[in-house]
Each structure stands twice: as C-alpha cells, then as structure tokens.
Amino acid sequence: MVRSEPVNPGAAPKIPRPVTLRESVFEAILELIISGGLGPGQHLAENELAEMLGVSRQPVREALQMLSGEGWVDLRPGHGAFVHAPTVEEADQLLAVRTLLETESARLAALDPTAGGTARLREICARGRAAIEADDIDAAVAANSELHALITELSGNKVLAELASQVARRVRWYHTPVARHRGHASWEEHALLIDAIEAGDQERAEQIMRDHTEHTRQSYMEQRAQSPDEPAPAPQRRRRPRSLSAS
Amino acid sequence: MVRSEPVNPGAAPKIPRPVTLRESVFEAILELIISGGLGPGQHLAENELAEMLGVSRQPVREALQMLSGEGWVDLRPGHGAFVHAPTVEEADQLLAVRTLLETESARLAALDPTAGGTARLREICARGRAAIEADDIDAAVAANSELHALITELSGNKVLAELASQVARRVRWYHTPVARHRGHASWEEHALLIDAIEAGDQERAEQIMRDHTEHTRQSYMEQRAQSPDEPAPAPQRRRRPRSLSAS
DNA sequence: TCGCTGTATACTGTAGGCAGTCGACGACAA
DNA sequence: TTGTCGTCGACTGCCTACAGTATACAGCGA
C-alpha cells in the first residue's frame, strides 16, 4: 500500500532515482547525447525512440520537452526534436556564463567556510589527482564536476546552485576532451581554491575561480580552433536527416 | 500547402506567437499565476485546466512540464502540479542571482556601446517615467522589464540573456508591488545607467546596475518583512487543497 | 531539360481511455 | 477515546488512435 520505496536506505537523499518513465527516458536520451550516440543536429523521431526504449510516445515527448528546457535539444513545432548543435560562439558564451556563476559561488562559499564542506572538497580533489595520475579521464571529469557542484552548493544560494549545475552539465558535454589537455594544472588550481575558501578569503577565492574557469575556456576555444569541424557546426540540413538507426 | 504563416508581416520577428496548443496553454496558465488567479501552493488539476481552457489533458500536461522547467510550478510525481510557493529565502536568492546576471549584462553592454541600443533604451526609459507620472503601475513594470531585457540582449551573450530573462520573469512575479514603492528613484538610476553604457564605462555601468538591483532587492525584503504572511509562505498543506473552482 | 503541380508517405499534435496509486474517510477493536 | 484497518473516490501516468501537415517524389507541361 505505502509505496515500496525503502524510505532512503542510508544517507543519500540526493540523486532521486527516476520513478516515472519520462524521467528514465530523459536520462536515457541525455546519456545518448552526451556519449555521442546522437550527434548534434540529428533528428529525434518520437516513434523510433519510443520503440528503442520500449515505451509509448507519450513519455518520450515529455522527456524531449524536459531536454528542450535545459537546452539539450531544439523543439521545432511541427518538425520534432533535434539534438542541439552548439556553435562555437554559443559554447564560448556558455563558458563565460559558467565563469560568472561559479566565480560568485566561490566567493559565497568563502563567505562562510565554517559550513564544513572543505573536508569534502579536499577529498574530491584527492580523487581527481589520483584519477589524473592513473590516466583515468572519465573519473577526472566526474571528480571535476563533483567539485564544482559542491562549491556551488556551499555558496548557500540554491537558485544559484541550480542554475550553475545546469550550465555545468552542458559545459561538461562540450569540453570533456579538454580535461585530457590540462589535467595536473587544473587540480593544482583546485587545491589553491580550497585553501582560499577555507581561509575565508572571498577575493582570492573569486580570483582563483575566475582564472581557473577562464583557463578552461581558453583551452577549449584553442582546441576547438585546431579542429573546427569535429563538433559538427550546426549542419542546418534541409533534407530529412538520417535518423537513429542510421547512426 | 506551404503553411499559412505570412513569413513575418512587417519587422517583428520576435515574440513567436504560439502555434501549438501547449504554448497557448503555457501562456494562459502563466498569466493566471502571475495575475494571482492561481495562488502559491495551489493544486493544478489537469482535468480542470483542460476543461477550463477547452483542450484535452495532453497539452495541459506538456504546458505544466514547461512551467516546471522554468520554476513556476512544482511537479510531484504521482501528485500533480502545484503553483510554486517561493519562500522568503528563495526570493532573496533569486534576486541575488538577478543582480549577478544583470550586473554582468550591463558591463558587457558598455563594452560595445556602438551596438546602437542606447536610443531604444532611452525611449523605454521615457515611457517608464511617463508611466510613473501617470501612476500606471502596470505600464511602469512592463517598461522596467523591457529595459532590463534589452540590456541583457545588448550584452551580446545570448546564453546570459536567456538565463537573465527567465530569472527576471520570476522576479517580476515576486516583486511587482515593489514598483509602487520606489518608482521615481528607480528610473533616475536607469537614466544614469544608460549614460554609463553610452559612455562605454564598464565599471560605472556595472556599479550602477549592482546598486540598482540591490536597492530593488532590499526594497522587496523590507516590504515582505512588513507583511510576512501575505505571499503565502509555502503552506505545505497535507490535506488536499481546494482546487481551481474554489478560488 | 527545367519548373510546376499533384499525390503519397511519414511524422507530429491532439484526443480519449484505462490501469495504478495516493489520500481521505468511516468502521471496528483495544 | 484512540489507534488501526479496509474501502472509496479522485487523480495521475501511460497507452492507443486519429487528424492535420510538411516533405519527398513522380508525372506533366512548357
């Protein structure tokens, strides 16, 4: 009667596992986009997705709307959903916004270092370094995301944290390959940042975060400049694109 | 054959009029929320909305999902949609984020004042003053929104503009009554801000915008402190709330 | 050969309906 | 009187089906 949910086993109230189909579908499609299984500009036919995932079109539609809300797909009325194809300009702007949001987060986090998050920050930082040493890019990227997410949380501003997390997810999609580029330097900066937060030095925390995210941004833009065609610059195809099965 | 769309009559490519039902429903519900027809915490039964608007439940569902994505309603799986009830803390945080986003927008707008938006800014500013003189609060609030939206546009960062516009819409919902409070002073500040942008003085533009939005925020918080019960501090009601017809 | 028009196909947008589940209410027992 | 259990009502989540429309292609005429 009373829902089979075990009322949170342990102490992990975060990450509310999807209970509705639309949420599962949302995550499935998002995973496909991030992993590259669905390329930018690709048409997402509801029928195919529904069939592939073994559900009806309804939850697929709703998942697509959610994805559209977060900027992952573009919804053209009467035409359907297309994987969002970020232009170089947009990626740059997104990274700039990330800099803005996370810089403020770092400042706010330093405002009240007694919140006790620095220990967790250091733990994540250690994991990140270890991942780099082990040449485990995926783990390093994950740790990076986790670190930045925790800092936004420690800012104490939930609205800010929510916005930053959305932006960060998209950024992560864009610049995953960058992590390969400047792994060690990045984690050195993280360590300094944590020091500043722990010391309650707002200005320093702000400055380090700004420099850090700007480094990442420049690194991305340089890499992108070297291989300008790789991330598919918005094909804008007129003819009906090949759909899922063709990929 | 070739869609009846008249290919943009005139020169108003903005404001894409809703072509799908879900968009119309989205705007209808949003209007109800902003206007106060639907109070915070109120349960939105899909059936009633569908009947009221003369459509089926499907477009209503999709509109509710869109509203959820922008933070207007809370979607509790298995329970339905509820008008979001912002806490004092959340409103404060939202206003802080707005300060952050718009301050940066102002700085970027001042970075390239040749974009030629200042004339339009002055025009809107004049309208706002006139509205205040005429004691037309609604028009003043509308002009205020328009002005801030244009500044974010002039920043040249579309991602930033998009985020700021979402935040601004919610802020507008929260603090409409504030406009009554400090009308004249607000438009004086706007004029100074436009001067700074036109002069290309980033720091000044940034500072004025920061002060301006912080004033608004403090004004809101003070007003809220005086009447703490009026905006319904998240009822969190256990019993089934009265639905639409009872309002 | 080129452009236009009519038809066919595939997909979206919407409607209606069914099953599952949550919350409320009343009855019964301690 | 209080706590527990069973039943009822209502609503959500999902599925299926239909109508409308844009696109692609073939046939026709110039």
pLDDT over 90 at A105, yes or no: yes
Does residue B16 sit within a domain? no
Describe the crossing of helices B158-181 and B202-226 by its angle, rounded to 10 degrees.
50
pLDDT-derived band of residue A169, with 50, 70 and 90 as boundaries? Answer: confident
Q: Supply the pLDDT for residue B9.
A: 33
pLDDT over 90 at A109, yes or no: yes
Provide the domain count of chain B: 2
Residue B204: what residue type? R
Token pair listed for B167: 């935040």
Do B133 and B182 lie in a common domain? yes
Residue B132: what residue type? I
* A80-92 per-position pLDDT tens digit: 899 998 888 998 9
Q: Distance from residue B66 (CA) to nucleotide C17 (C1'), in Å?
A: 25
Q: Which residue has the tokens 């002005």?
A: B147
pLDDT-derived band of residue A177, with 50, 70 and 90 as boundaries? Answer: low
Chains A–B, number of C-beta pairs less than 8 Å apart: 64
Q: Distance from residue A44 (CA) to nucleotide D9 (C1'), in Å?
A: 40
Q: Distance from residue B3 (CA) to nucleotide D21 (C1'), in Å?
A: 8
The verdict on a CB contact (< 8 Å) between B159 and A94 is yes
Please give the nucleotide, over all strands, whose C1' is closest to the CA of residue B19. C13
Q: How many CA atoms lie within 13 A of A185 on its CB side?
A: 12
Give the number of other CB atoms < 10 A from CB of residue B136: 13
Classified as helix, coil or strand, A221 is helix
Query: A62 contacts in B (CB within 8 Å)?
Result: 61-62, 65
Rounded average pLDDT per 10-residue block, chain B, 247 residues? 31 47 88 86 89 88 88 88 89 94 96 84 93 87 90 95 91 67 80 94 95 86 65 34 36
Query: A65 contacts in B (CB within 8 Å)?
Result: 62, 65-66, 69
The verdict on a CB contact (< 8 Å) between A97 and B160 is yes
Q: Which residue has the tokens 């420099």?
A: A211
Do A183 and A73 lie in a common domain? no
Domain that holds residue B189: 88-226
CA of A170: how far to CAs of A75, A87, A94, A148, B55, in Å? Answer: 17, 13, 8, 13, 35
pLDDT over 90 at A228, yes or no: no
CA of B222: how far to CAs of A47, A122, B175, in Å? Answer: 53, 39, 11
pLDDT over 70 at A235, yes or no: no
Do B135 and B68 lie in a common domain? no
| Residue A240 per-residue DSSP state | P
Q: Supply the pLDDT for residue A123.
A: 95
pLDDT over 80 at A145, yes or no: yes
**Residue A195 touches partner B, C-beta closer than 8 Å:** no
Query: B101 contacts in A (CB within 8 Å)?
Result: 100
C-alpha to C-alpha distance for A44 and B56, rounded to whole angstroms: 25
Interface of B with A in 78-107 (CB under 8 A): 78, 90, 93-94, 96-97, 100-101, 104
Evaluate the CA torsion angle B151, B152, B154, B155 in order and state its sign.
Answer: positive
Average pLDDT of span A102-116: 90
* ipTM of this predicted structure: 0.79
Do B73 and B94 lie in a common domain? no
pLDDT over 50 at A245, yes or no: no
C-alpha to C-alpha distance for A111 and B52, rounded to whole angstroms: 49
Token pair listed for A204: 């320093």
* Burial of B163 per CB tally in 10 Å (0-12, 13-18, 19+): buried
Residue A141: what residue type? V
The verdict on a CB contact (< 8 Å) between B19 and A160 is no
Do A115 and A69 lie in a common domain? no
Do B61 and B166 lie in a common domain? no
Does residue B217 sit within a domain? yes
Q: CB of A85 within 8 A of CB of A73? A: no
Alpha helices in chain A (DSSP H): 21-35, 46-53, 57-69, 88-111, 118-133, 137-154, 158-181, 183-199, 202-226
**Residue A46 touches partner B, C-beta closer than 8 Å:** no
Residue A116, strand partner residues = none
Do B34 and B107 lie in a common domain? no
Do B72 and B97 lie in a common domain? no
pLDDT over 70 at A5, yes or no: no
**Residue B66 touches partner A, C-beta closer than 8 Å:** yes
pLDDT over 50 at A144, yes or no: yes
Tell me the pairing of strands B80-83 and B73-76: antiparallel
Establish whether the CB of B80 is closer than 7 Å to any nucleic acid atom in strand D: yes
pLDDT above 90 as % of chain A: 37
Q: Which of A238, A245, A244 lies closest to A76 in space, CA to CA?
A: A238
Q: Which nucleotides in chain D lie less than 7 Å from some protein C-beta?
A: 10-17, 21-24
Do A96 and A184 lie in a common domain? yes
Q: Supply the pLDDT for residue B224.
A: 73
Do B153 and B132 lie in a common domain? yes
Q: In what order do the strands lie in the sheet with B73-76?
A: B43-44, B80-83, B73-76
Query: B67 contacts in A (CB within 8 Å)?
Result: none
pLDDT over 60 at A247, yes or no: no
Q: Distance from residue A40 (CA) to nucleotide C4 (C1'), in Å?
A: 35
pLDDT over 70 at A9, yes or no: no
Please give the nucleotide, over all strands, whose C1' is closest to the CA of residue B77. D12
The verdict on a CB contact (< 8 Å) between A104 and B100 is yes
Does residue B242 sit within a domain? no
CATH of residue A191: 1.20.120.530
Do A93 and A205 lie in a common domain? yes
Q: Supply the pLDDT for residue B241.
A: 37
